[in-house]
Amino acid sequence: MSNPIRIGIAGLGTVGAGLIKIIQKNSNILEARAGKPIKIIAVSALSKSKDRGVDLTAYEWEDDPIALAKRDDIDVFVELIGGESGQAKKATEEAIKHGKHVVTANKAMLAIHGQELASAAENSGVNLRFEAAVAGGIPVIKTLTESLAGNNITRIMGVMNGTCNYILTRMEDTGLAYEEIFEEANQLGFLEADPNLDVGGIDAAHKLVLLSSIAYGTQVDFNGAILEGIGRITIEDIKAASEMGYRIKLLGVSSLSDSGLSQTMRPCLVPLTSPLAQLNGGTNMIIIEGDAVGQIVLRGAGAGEGPTASAVIADILDIARGINIPVFGQPANSLIKVPAISTSVENSFYLRLNLKDEAGILAKVSAALANVGISIDRIRQEGHEKDAAPVIIVTHPTDRDTLNKAISEIEETSAAIDPPVVLRIESV
């Protein structure tokens, strides 16, 4: 066997502790597969005394992750601190500068600074690997950069946030309101410290833009992504979707056209027959469509100690094996910057409106849609007792920009009591 691959781990939360457990438990397997031992040299975290359920006595301690990144006796710096900037970014930059390979689970950092860090890593001749940053234990990065490298990728879509999927499926299963299930998820520890990262679609969008960069050879563009969270989804929407043969999912969709790059993270309706509709709880699913392979589906645990640590160790093994792949699948200086667009594809849409209970109001809504050329496929009005009349409309295929014009006209008429809920109906 060769000399060991020496690693330093910054961040000893759930994933960091899980990584140490895997290395301690499976050391013989890892050595056989890597062709050399995997040896932890030093670790760093905020508190040295905290009980993390794992023995750290064999490793040197660094209070400062940047000091850890500079150590001469490590080959791979594992960044598990988190956050788009701060110490995570500084330590990563120092590791690259000092010729260390970097393995990270930090989707936010890469979604914002990916182009810069990729260029730095490739100029320094080191790896920057991030399998764990997207969809936990699902090997979607490796799939795109390696297994599907011969394909022209035409579309990526998926459920990329387990917390949102848990909330939506629990609402359907229990009939409880969003607020109640949100609190349940919070009590179970599913939500980020800032819950909007989950329910606002930000966490999932970080993942989507990383996949888009690999799939289409474009520079990472988080600011160009269109985000809409699940906070306005009601149990009535869940029930109405089910009755029409759909389920609601927070769905990321990206595609590249001659007009530009479309990256959306929004609640959508998907057919009950689609693989996405069968996805329950905190599971993730990524669907990739390529010109040669057709459609493939990747499904598995999108978070958690074991799955995410499994992805981290996979990247470490690749480095130990001498595998060196450009960060986003092709050299960073070849990634193109393209315009951000909403979408180039027409879809049907679900609209829920709370209309004033007055004569002629529905006619105003129909006229606003007709004025921009949108025809109605289905319309449903439920019985009501209050002044608001809930109406559900399903349109024939149109584009979102055209629909937005109609919605603006509806709002100008003051027909609706509050802004409509708009959900794209996605074919899968």
In tens, the pLDDT along 49-78 reads 899 999 999 999 999 999 999 999 999 999
- What interhelical angle do 178-187 and 162-174 show, nearest 10? 130
Contact 70, 90 (CB under 8 A): no
Is the pLDDT assigned to residue 225 strictly greater than 60? yes
Cα 346 from Cα 261, distance rounded (Å): 15
Cα 106 from Cα 394, distance rounded (Å): 39
| Domain locations along the chain | 5-133, 140-300+335-341, 348-425
pLDDT score of 344: 66
Cα 190 from Cα 195, distance rounded (Å): 9
Tokens standing for residue 153: 């990728």
Q: pLDDT band at 115, cuts 50/70/90?
A: very high
Q: What is the DSSP letter of 81?
A: -
Is the pLDDT assigned to residue 1 strictly greater than 60? no
Is the pLDDT assigned to residue 384 strictly greater than 70? no
Is the pLDDT assigned to residue 370 strictly greater than 70? yes
pLDDT score of 213: 98
pLDDT score of 356: 86
Q: pLDDT band at 385, cuts 50/70/90?
A: low
pLDDT score of 369: 94
Tokens standing for residue 226: 């269109």
Cα 16 from Cα 78, distance rounded (Å): 9
Residues of the chain above pLDDT 90, percent: 85
pLDDT score of 355: 87
Q: pLDDT band at 2, cuts 50/70/90?
A: confident
Question: Among the CATH numbers 3.30.360.10, 3.10.310.30, 2.40.40.20, 3.40.50.720, which is that of 140-300+335-341?
Answer: 3.30.360.10
Strand 283-290 with 153-159, pairing:
antiparallel
pLDDT (average), residues 254-273? 95
Cα 169 from Cα 284, distance rounded (Å): 13
Contact 37, 5 (CB under 8 A): yes
List C-alpha distances in Å: 342 to 211, 264, 416: 17, 7, 25
Average pLDDT for the chain: 94
Cα 299 from Cα 293, distance rounded (Å): 17
Answer yes or no: CATH 3.40.50.720 is held by domain 5-133.
yes
Residues of the chain above pLDDT 70, percent: 99
The answer to which of 148-152, 190-194, 245-249, 361-365 has the lowest mean pLDDT is 190-194
Is the pLDDT assigned to residue 374 strictly greater than 80? yes
Grouping H, G, I as helix, E, B as strand and the rest as coil, residue 392 is: strand
Grouping H, G, I as helix, E, B as strand and the rest as coil, residue 227 is: strand
- What interhelical angle do 202-216 and 107-124 show, nearest 10? 30
* CATH topology for the 348-425 domain: Alpha-Beta Plaits (3.30.70)
Phi, psi of 361, rounded to the nearest 5 degrees: -65, -45
List active site positions: 207
* Nearest 10 degrees: Cα torsion 408, 412, 414, 416: 0
Cα 416 from Cα 323, distance rounded (Å): 58
Cα 276 from Cα 347, distance rounded (Å): 17
Q: Which of 266, 278, 260 is nearest to 349 (CA)?
A: 266
pLDDT score of 416: 85
Centre a 10 Å sphere on the Cβ of residue 335 and count the other Cβ atoms it contains: 23
Q: What is the DSSP letter of 9?
A: E
Residue that wins the pLDDT comparison between 282 and 183: 183
pLDDT score of 358: 82
pLDDT (average), residues 322-351? 93
Phi, psi of 230, rounded to the nearest 5 degrees: -105, 5
Q: pLDDT band at 330, cuts 50/70/90?
A: very high
Cα 347 from Cα 100, distance rounded (Å): 47
Strand 76-79 with 60-62, pairing:
unpaired
Cα 259 from Cα 78, distance rounded (Å): 38
Tokens standing for residue 215: 């799939």
